[in-house]
Structure formats: C-alpha cells, structure tokens
A and B are shown apart, each in its own frame.
Chain A
Amino acid sequence: MTRSARTILPPEALDPTDRAILNALQDGFPITPRPYDDAGAALGITGAELIDRIARLREIGAITRFGPFFDAAAMGGAFCLCAMAVPADRWDEVLTKVNAHPQVAHNYERTHALNMWFVLATDTPEGITRTAQAIEAETGLDVMLFPKLEEYFIGFRVQA
C-alpha cells in the first residue's frame, strides 16, 4: 500500500470520462441487476466500458476501493479513532504490531508527538477496548481513544 501511496498520477492519466466516473460514483451506485449498465448510461458509456474503466482506475491507484461502505456502528459494532506517540527507534516494530490487528482499518503517520493515528473497526463496542488494550500490552505504549461524539459530515467529496 505504501508504494502507491506516494505516487501522484499525472493529469493525463485521467480523461474527462474517468473524472466524471470518479465524481459520480462517490455518491452511490445502483442496486439493480445490471448496475454498471445503469450507472454507465447516466455517464454516456456502456456498462462494459464502465467496468473496464473502474478496473483501470483501481489498477493505477486513482481509487482505493469500490464497493459497499459499511457502518460498523449500525451493525452493532464500533469505530474509534486512536492515537499513539511512537518513539522513532521503535517505529517499525510498533507499526508491525499495530497493523497485524485486522481491526485496524486505516493507519496514518502524522506530524505530531502523537504520530500514529489509526481507526479501529470492531464487531462490538467492547472490541474497541479489547483491541486497544491488546496493542498497549504488546507495545507497552498508551493508546489514546478518540471516539466520535457527534458527526458533522459523512464521506468524501473530491472534485476530480
């Protein structure tokens, strides 16, 4: 993941149709028998072309994912933003231990004393505490929990 993470696509990598797909498909996708045909029709392309283009967008790293976005809380589970202050000389070791947990959905290095920020997604609210405690036990470092109290915006809106 980190290999492509540093790559910026040249502007010519995306043509106007790719940009239209990126903009339109951030909002949603039909739940119909032939959804690519239906979504393609709105963009003026065939379903087959839409499939090819999404596959290519994924291949070149323009998108990270295409599919359903689940709300862990609505499934009875939970999300929680967490942060750790990881000493530089222990970075790789701690990163390996943190990322080994399948509950760690996203993880970012950030510019702060709290330099590792990740999201835990678990089946149950108790899973957040359990996973955080496991990481603390494995690393000997504090895991700070920042659960959301109120949400003012959901999702993405990148103008491609």
Chain B
Amino acid sequence: MTAANPRGMAPLDAIDRRIVRATQAGLPLTPQPYAEIAAVLDLTEAEVIDRIAAMQERGIIRRIAIAPHHYALGMTANGMSVWDVADDRISDLGARIGALPYVTHCYQRPRALPQWPYNLFAMLHGSGRDEVEAKRREVAAILGDACRGSDILYSTRILKKTGLRLAD
C-alpha cells in the first residue's frame, strides 16, 4: 500500500477538502446525495461527482461502502492474531495469509523488542472463539517453521469507532 500516493501527486485542494469534510460522517441518504453535498458547499452536482470520482481514482477514497458491524452480525469473536515471522519470508507468507477468506487487516508491523516480538498482524473473524482458534491453527500451519511464536488478542469492548475526521 505504498503506491496510493506517488510522490509529487497533488494532495487535496481546498474544494476537495470541503468535500471530504462534508462526507466524512457518511453519504446523505437522499435520492441525489451528490447534489445535496453540492448544495451545501455551493458547488454543482457534476463538480462533486467529478471530484469524488477523481479522489477515488487517486486512492484518496478507497471506496464508498458500508462498514458492517461484525459483532452485531454475529462475528462476535474478533481475534487479532500476531506472529513472529522470519524477516526473509514475511512478504511471501504475509500475502498468503492476507488472501485467506477469514482474514482482514493483514499487515507487517515493526517489532518492539523485548516486549513485543511479533511482526505480522492478521485479524481473524469468527462466530465464536472456537472458530477463531481453529483458524489460528490453519494460519500456524501455513507459516510453519518460519514462525517463532504467536499470540492472539481478543477484543473485549469497542471503546470508540468513528470515521476519519479531517481537521481544518
């Protein structure tokens, strides 16, 4: 994910930033949501559509989408599995783990030794801890002897969840 913002690409101009701020809480639930945003910002609907499409093209908007509430939908066990994977094999193995259907948010992150030896993070979702633990064993089997240790951190409470808030 380093390709989204090649160096030299113009970031956001003032109008883009107004559109970001107007939509960061969500898209209006009205038949012509882009026209509604345009009316608030004193722009034309076509301009808002063009700019949102351009921001998506540039990777500034990843997508316009629904964020499901995993817990409410029965995915009650949300385990952040963490792995200490050999540096020379993490790229290949990380890609394999990230491709598993029950894995989201799969990243290489820095270790923080000695407290934190893990460099691969993969969120495992399941309807219960048994299911998540079974998936964790599948991941362990794929990593094999490239993995020197692992842990899993279950989320016990959502403490805050908001979209990105762009400051002025």
Contacts and interface: CB of A to CB of B under 8 A. Distances in A.
A105 B162 contact: yes
B155 A33 contact: no
Given A70-B164, A152-B106, A144 B1 contact: no
Interface residues of B toward A: which range?
A: 35 or more
Contacts of B68: 22, 26, 62-64, 156, 158, 160
B137 interface: no
A31 B67 contact: no
Nearest to A69: B62
Contact of B33 (A9, A35, A109, A149): A35
A30 B97 CA distance: 30
B66 A26 contact: yes
Give chain B's interface secondary structure class.
mixed
Contact of A110 (B99, B106, B107, B154): B154
A11 B73 CA distance: 8
A156 B104 contact: yes
Interface residues of A toward B: which range?
A: 35 or more
A90 interface: no
A64 B155 contact: no
Contact of B108 (A25, A47, A77, A149): A149
Given A35-B33, A64-B161, A118-B160, A73 B108 contact: no
A57 B157 CA distance: 21
A29 to B, nearest CB: 4
A64 B65 CA distance: 11
A2 B94 CA distance: 32
B26 A148 contact: no
A31 B69 contact: no
B116 A70 contact: no
Nearest to B158: A5
A121 B164 contact: yes
Contacts of B66: 21-22, 25-26, 54, 57, 63, 65-66
Interface in B1-52: 1, 4-5, 11-12, 20, 23-27, 29-35, 45, 49, 52
Contacts of B86: none
B89 interface: no
Contacts of A8: 71-72, 74, 76
Interface of B: 1, 4-5, 11-12, 20, 23-27, 29-35, 45, 49, 52-53, 55-56, 58-76, 80, 90-91, 94-95, 97-99, 101, 103-110, 112, 115-116, 121-122, 125, 151, 153-167
